[in-house]
């Protein structure tokens, strides 16, 4: 599976690593993903999902 949040759709961001001499090299800023089992109220079963930590913090407002 790729490094994409299954609920929010967030994925890696491109950026630059800047040295003291201001030389810029490309880097990838990956999101903080975790594999979690979440209880789905609508389906009445457990779901295995790969989600970001920001979504985990706000899960009580999302109805799966």
**pLDDT digit string, tens, across residues 45-64:** 999 999 999 998 888 766 66
Q: Quickly state the pLDDT bin for 39 (edges 50, 70, 90).
A: confident
DSSP per-residue codes, the chain: --S--TTT----EEEEEE-TT--EEEEEE---EEEEEEEETTTTEEEEEEEEHHHHHTGGG---
- C-alpha 46/C-alpha 30 separation (Å) is 27
- Whether 8 has a pLDDT exceeding 70, the answer reads yes
Domain map of the chain by residue range? 13-61
Q: Quick one: 13-61 is in which CATH superfamily? A: Ribosomal protein L28/L24 (2.30.170.40)
């Amino acid at each position: 599976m790729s490094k994409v949040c299954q609920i929010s759709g967030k994925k890696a961001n491109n950026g630059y690593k800047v040295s003291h001499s201001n030389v810029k090299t490309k880097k990838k800023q990956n999101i903080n993903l975790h594999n979690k089992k979440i209880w789905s109220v609508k389906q009445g079963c457990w779901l295995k999902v790969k989600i970001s930590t920001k979504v985990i913090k706000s899960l009580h407002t999302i109805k799966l």
